[in-house]
Each structure stands twice: as C-alpha cells, then as structure tokens.
Amino acid sequence: MNKDLQNLIALAEIDKEASRLEPQITDIENELNDKMKLQAKTQDELESLQNNAKKAKVDIAANELIIQENSEKIEQIDKKMASVKSEQEIRALDAENGLAKEKIVYANEQIANIERELESFASKEEEIQNRIEALKKEIEESKEDVQKKTAKVKAELKKVFDNKEKIVKKIDNKVLIFYEKIRKWAKDTSIVVVKKQACSGCYIRINDMVYSEILKSDDIITCPHCGRILYIAQ
C-alpha cells in the first residue's frame, strides 16, 4: 500500500477522533449555559413580579386617595344639607352624596382585590427566590464539574492534535491538500474501505478495472461515483 495512503488512513482516524471529542466540549458547556439562562429567566420572572407588586401598592394608594376625597366630599354635603331649603337642591346633594358613596364602595372593593393579589405575590416571590437559590447552587457545582470535564477532553484533544502534527509531516503536501479538499464535503468519510467491491461511502459497486487498480496500484484511487479516497483493508 502507498505510504502516503497509509498515513492518510491514520490521519483520517485521527480526524474522526477529533470530530468526536470537539463537540463534547460544546455539549458540556451548553449544559451549564442552559442553567445560567434559566437562572436569568427566573430572575426576570422575579423582577416582573416585584414590579407588579409595586404597581399594586401604587393602585392601593390611588384608591385610598379616592376614599379620602369622597369621604371629605360627603362631610361637605352633610354640612350643606343643614342649610339648603329647596327640594331641588336636596335632590342634587342626595345624588352627589350617593355617587360619592358608590365611589368609596368601589375603591374599597378594588383595595380588597389588590390586597389578595399582593398576598399571592408574596407566596410566589418566596417560591421564585427558592428556585433562584437552588439554581445558584447548581450552577456553582456545575462550574466545577464543567472545568474538570473540559480539562479532560482538552487533554485528550491535545494528544490527538500532537499525533496529527506528526502524521501530517509524513504526507506529501499535494496529497494532503487533495485529502483536505475531499474532507470539506465528505467530513469523516473522506477515506473509506472497499467492501464486497463497493465503496462504503456511497455504497455503489466499483467496476472491475477500478477495483483491480486499487488492488495492484500504488496510486491513490478515488471512487468514480462519489470521489472519496478508497482502500482495501489488509
């Protein structure tokens, strides 16, 4: 077998190992990133709840002001009632008094509803705070775990790349460029074994002439159908 081809087969195996290891770092880091995103989302949920609670308190204050204003208005109406004499004025003051009382009743109902909401907010806030604390703990533990796992994978990758560097030096530059060109589209199936006279990359049968060349020639032969580099396992 052509020496460059032997080295290319070894290089292809090294590239496969690198392809297997590299995504592991991303997967490990993504697991931590997902937890951090969840923490940020939960923090936003808490802030939204707190903003709603602040708004609710402002609404209570506004309704309390309505009660105060209309209570004062009723007092003024009562004072006026003592001095008015005409039935028309009395009816007008009665209507005004009734409207003021309705506003007070409505404002009290609004305050009661808002206070119930605030009670609900308080329990939700506690639950969200607990989730945030739990996530913080998980993230701290995950950071240590991620560092250990990524360090291990990076150490393995370093060995792989060191081996690749040694192999690459043994391969003719033109052959190496040819291999990298195929690898751009074929990825980890750039070099494939011939099985039962068929390319194991595209699974199409190779004609007898090409098959004979692979068996006898020292040249690097590619599949006439898909362009992958072919070899026969020895």
* Residues 1-16 pLDDT 10s: 789 999 999 999 999 9
For residue 215, pLDDT beyond 80 = yes
Average pLDDT over residues 141-148: 90
What six digits make up the tokens of 173? 């530059």
Specify if 135 maps to a domain: yes
Specify if 29 maps to a domain: yes
Instruction: Kindly list the distances between the CA atom of residue 155 and the CA atoms of 26, 28, 137, 150, in Å, as whole numbers in the listed order.
Output: 15, 15, 28, 8
d(CA 78, CA 230): 105
Specify if 173 maps to a domain: no
| β 198-199/191-195 pair status | antiparallel
Specify if 100 maps to a domain: yes
For residue 80, pLDDT beyond 90 = no
**What contacts 128, CB < 8 A, 6 or more positions away?**
42, 45, 46, 49
Instruction: Kindly list the distances between the CA atom of residue 36 and the CA atoms of 55, 115, 129, 144, 152, in Å, as whole numbers in the listed order.
Output: 29, 34, 15, 14, 23
Domain span at residue 105? 21-157
**CATH at residue 87:** 1.10.287.1490
**What contacts 177, CB < 8 A, 6 or more positions away?**
none
d(CA 168, CA 171): 5
- b vs e for 101-120, b when ≥16 Cβ sit within 10 Å of the residue's Cβ? eebbeebeebbeebeeeeee
Specify if 14 maps to a domain: no
Q: What angle do CA 151, 157, 158 make, to 5 degrees?
A: 90
Edge-to-edge strands of the sheet including 229-231? Answer: 198-199, 191-195, 229-231
DSSP single-letter state for residue 205: B
Specify if 83 maps to a domain: yes
Specify if 172 maps to a domain: no
Specify if 149 maps to a domain: yes
pTM confidence score: 0.64
**What contacts 167, CB < 8 A, 6 or more positions away?**
7, 10, 11, 14
For residue 87, pLDDT beyond 90 = no
Count the domains in the chain. 1
With bands split at pLDDT 50, 70 and 90, how would you rate the model's confidence at 86?
Answer: confident
